[in-house]
């Protein structure tokens, strides 16, 4: 293992620790002061803390450690270890930040009059959505619902896990009505938090990797592929085919480009008479797709 590889591996764990610490800070500054439960298992833990005074840090460890053990032996060891690092850091930081030795009250967002109460879940949802997105890109998760989803998916790959997570979040939202003094506002705040958190995490997971797939039917495959390589920094896979009506030979270029290169590729195609293309959105790409625009000689996709 090279020195650079070791450094990258160390940094990946340091990054997870930083993400978990930031998540704990968001809880202390925006979630706890505004008396609402976030989504997932941590939402349940937050309500238990509100009622019984048991720190969410301890509850998070109690809930997640058994799940992590199951994932370690049954699903994916590396994913389990990285998630353990995240959960442990998150829990320890929550315990420390809520101790008598640390006072962050001056930085916490809270409105005693009730004005702009919605800002708490909006900001915390956005911040934790970003944190969760980058955590998942680092091959770990925030525990709770995600771990349950991983375990269920291993046993039943055909199950729609989105509905499992939706059901749990619905239970959290409804329960918050009874926990927080029979008020509808905590239910609404939980929904707002869940929306912003899931939306941003999903955007981060696929936003930078979304692309456009072109299937180009042409008699000029060499010319078009050369322009794609030199002007866009991508390449194409050429498939030989035959027209269904004319039975004449045609080439089909399959190419995936960045979203901002869509117009440029359309301009290239229009330069060659008789060429046409279909295009579709690709929700994600893997490998060195994005960096290829900087490489003079791209590898076929």
Q: pLDDT tens for residues 203-239?
A: 777 665 678 899 999 999 999 999 999 888 888 899 9
Give per-residue pLDDT as tens, 10-68.
Answer: 999 999 999 999 999 999 999 988 888 888 888 889 999 999 989 999 999 999 999 99
pLDDT of amino acid 207: 63
Percent of the chain with pLDDT over 90: 34
Greatest mean pLDDT among 74-78, 94-98, 117-121: 94-98
3-state secondary structure of 99: coil
Report the distance separating Cα 189 and Cα 119, nearest Å.
9
d(CA 106, CA 108) in angstroms, rounded, equals 6
Residue 188 confidence (pLDDT) above 60: yes
Q: What angle do CA 71, 75, 77 make, to 5 degrees?
A: 70
Q: From residue 159, give the alpha-carbon distance in Å to each of 39, 41, 142, 211.
A: 21, 20, 21, 27
User: Which pLDDT band holds residue 87 (cuts at 50, 70, 90)?
Assistant: very high
Inter-CA distances, 287 with 32, 45, 294, 299, Å: 40, 38, 14, 11
- Averaged over 122-135, what is the pLDDT? 91
């Amino acid at each position: 293992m090279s020195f650079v590889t070791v450094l990258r591996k160390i940094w990946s764990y340091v990054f997870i620790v930083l993400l978990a610490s930031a998540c704990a800070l968001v809880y202390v500054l925006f979630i706890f002061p505004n008396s609402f439960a976030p989504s997932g298992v941590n939402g349940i833990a937050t309500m238990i803390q509100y009622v019984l005074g048991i720190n969410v840090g301890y509850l998070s460890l109690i809930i997640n450690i058994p799940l992590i053990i199951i994932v370690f032996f049954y699903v994916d060891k590396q994913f389990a270890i990285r998630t353990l690092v995240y959960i442990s850091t998150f829990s320890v930081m929550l315990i420390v930040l809520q101790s008598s030795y640390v006072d962050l009250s001056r930085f916490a967002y809270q409105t005693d009059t009730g004005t702009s109460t919605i800002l708490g879940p909006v900001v915390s949802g956005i911040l934790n959505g970003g944190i969760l997105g980058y955590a998942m890109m680092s091959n770990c998760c925030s525990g709770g619902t995600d771990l349950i989803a991983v375990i269920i998916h291993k046993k039943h790959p055909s199950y729609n896990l989105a509905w499992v997570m939706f059901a749990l979040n619905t239970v959290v939202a409804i329960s918050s009505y009874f926990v927080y003094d029979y008020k509808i506002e905590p239910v609404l705040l939980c929904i707002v938090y869940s929306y912003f958190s899931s939306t941003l995490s999903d955007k981060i997971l696929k936003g930078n990797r979304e692309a456009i797939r072109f299937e180009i039917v042409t008699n000029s495959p060499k010319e078009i592929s050369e322009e794609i390589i030199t002007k866009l920094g991508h390449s194409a896979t050429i498939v030989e085919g035959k027209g269904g009506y004319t039975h004449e030979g045609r080439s089909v270029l399959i190419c995936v480009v960045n979203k901002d290169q869509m117009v440029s590729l359309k301009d290239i195609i229009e330069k060659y008479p008789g060429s046409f293309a279909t295009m579709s959105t690709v929700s994600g790409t893997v490998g060195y797709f994005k960096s290829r625009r900087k490489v003079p000689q791209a590898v076929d996709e």
